[in-house]
Amino acid sequence: MSVRPFRPALVLLLGALLPGKGAGAGPLGDETGPCAGADQALRAVGEALDIGQWAEAERLLAPLSASGADCSRVVLGRARLRAAQGDTAEAERLFARATEMAPTDALAHAFFARYWLSRGQPARADHLSALALALDPDCPEALVVRGRILRGKGLISAAREAFEHATRLDAANAEAAYQLGIWFFNGRFYQEAVGRFETVVARRPGDARAHDYLASSLEGLGEAERAEAAYHEALKVNEGPFFDPLLDGNYGRFLLKQGRLEESRSHLDRAVSLLPERRGPHYERAKLNLARKDYAAARRDAERALRLPDPGGLVVDVQVYYLLATVYARLGESELAEKYAELARRTPIPDQTADRPR
C-alpha cells in the first residue's frame, strides 16, 4: 500500500498495521517513543492479519508485546488477532485500550468500528467510524466501514462512493476491493464485480468468500468453465480463516443447473447441514429432488423452505410457491397444486437488491 500525504496534525496517526504505513504512535520514521524501531515488524503483523495468517501474526506479535507494551499499534494488532480468534472479551478490552492510548489515531477507531460491525452492533460501528473519519477523512479502513453502514441503511450510491474512495486511496486494500465487489455483484454489474474479486483473491488467496463471489459473478456472465474453476479454488480453502457457509449451496446450485445431479446432491446436503434454518439450501435441494423424481423428498424440502426465513432475499416466497405447485402436481395432489399456483400468480415479486449475507 502506498503512503498518502498527511496533514501536519495527522502525521502521527497512521501506523504500520497496514502494509506500507508508518509505525505505531509516532511520526513516520520516528526513532523515539513507545513504538520506536517497530516499523518493519508492525508492517509484517499487519500483512499477516490482512490475509488471515493468524499463527504468523501471533508469532510476530509475541516479541513486540514484550518490548512494546506501551505501543498503541502493538495493542491494536493484538486486538485484531484476538477478534479473529473469537476471543471477544479480550478483543474488546484491547481495542478499548488501543483507542484510549491513542485517542487521535483514526486507524484504531476504524478497526474497533469494523469489530463492532462484525458483532452485529452497527450503531457502535457508526459512531466509531464517524470519529475515525473526523480524525482522518482519508482513512481507507474507516471508509470501508462507513460504506458498509451506508449500504445497510439502503444508501446504495453513497456506499459505492465510500468504497471507491477507499480503493483510490489504497489500491492494495483487499477489504475495500471485496466490499466494492459485493456492491457491483448486488447490482448485477458482473464484469465490474469480477475485476474486484480477482484483486481480492490475488491479495487474499485463502478468502473462500471472494472466490465464491468471483464464481457467482462469472456465472452471471455465462462463463461456466471459469466459474467452476473459481468454485474449486473456494472449496480448497473453505476450512480457513475466511470460511464461507454459503459456498456448498452455491456450488450445488451451479451443478444442478448443469444437470450434474449426484455431484450437486453431496454439496446441497452439506449446505443444509451447515445452514439448517435458512431457506436457500432447502429450496435448492427440493429442486434437485424434483429433478431426481424423488417427489416425497422434494415436498419435505419445499415445505421446510416455505417455513424458513430468507434474510438475504435470495429465495422469495413466489419461487417457493411455484416449486410447491409443481411438486404437488407430480404427487397428484391437485388441490394443493392449484392453491400454490394461485398464490404464485397473485404474489408480487419484490425488489431483490439486498446484500448477500456473509
Question: Quick one: pLDDT at residue 339?
Answer: 97
Asked if pLDDT for residue 27 goes beyond 70, the answer is no
The Cα 142–Cα 150 span in angstroms is 12
Residue found by looking up cell 460504506 in the block: 147
The Cα 98–Cα 214 span in angstroms is 35
Q: What is the pLDDT of residues 236-281, one digit of tens each?
A: 999 989 999 999 999 999 999 999 999 999 999 999 999 999 999 9
Burial of 207 (0-12, 13-18, 19+ CB in 10 A): buried
- Residue 76 in grid coordinates: 491494536
Asked if pLDDT for residue 48 goes beyond 80, the answer is yes
Over the range 57-84, which residues count as b (16 or more CB within 10 Å of their CB) and which as e?
Answer: bbebbeebeeebeebbbbbbbbbbbbbb
Q: What is the pLDDT of residues 52-107, one digit of tens each?
A: 999 999 999 999 988 777 899 999 999 999 999 999 999 999 999 999 999 999 99
Question: Quick one: pLDDT at residue 150?
Answer: 97
Question: Quick one: pLDDT at residue 351?
Answer: 64
Question: Which of these, 221, 176, 173, lies nearest to 194 by C-alpha position?
Answer: 221
- Domain ranges in the chain are 247-346
pLDDT bracket for residue 12 (50, 70, 90): very low
Q: Which long-range CB contacts under 8 A does 86-92 form with residues at least 24 apart?
A: 88/119, 91/115
Total-model pTM? 0.86
Question: Quick one: pLDDT at residue 358?
Answer: 43
Fold adopted by 247-346: 1.25.40
Eight-state DSSP code of residue 308: S
Question: Quick one: pLDDT at residue 313?
Answer: 80
Q: What is the pLDDT of residues 95-152, one digit of tens each?
A: 999 999 999 999 999 999 999 999 999 999 999 999 999 999 999 999 999 999 999 9
pLDDT bracket for residue 352 (50, 70, 90): low
The Cα 173–Cα 273 span in angstroms is 34
Residue found by looking up cell 486511496 in the block: 169
The Cα 40–Cα 333 span in angstroms is 70
Q: What is the pLDDT of residues 216-241, one digit of tens each?
A: 999 999 999 999 999 999 999 999 89
Give the CA count within 13 Å in the CB-facing half-sphere of 182.
21
Residue pair 200/212 in contact by the 8 Å Cβ criterion = no
DSSP string, 157-198: HHHHHHHHHHHHH-TT-HHHHHHHHHHHHHTT-HHHHHHHHH
Question: Quick one: pLDDT at residue 178?
Answer: 98
Q: What is the pLDDT of residues 161-200, one digit of tens each?
A: 999 999 999 999 999 999 999 999 999 999 999 999 999 9
Counting runs of H as helices and runs of E as strands, what totals does the chain give? Answer: 18, 0
Residue pair 19/53 in contact by the 8 Å Cβ criterion = no
Residue pair 331/299 in contact by the 8 Å Cβ criterion = yes
Give the CA count within 13 Å in the CB-facing half-sphere of 51.
17
Provide the residue count of the chain: 358
Question: Quick one: pLDDT at residue 309?
Answer: 85
Q: What is the pLDDT of residues 291-337, one digit of tens each?
A: 999 999 999 999 999 999 887 788 999 999 999 999 999 999 999 99
Q: How far is CA 179 from CA 85, 163, 201, 334, in A?
A: 22, 7, 13, 47
Residue pair 247/212 in contact by the 8 Å Cβ criterion = yes
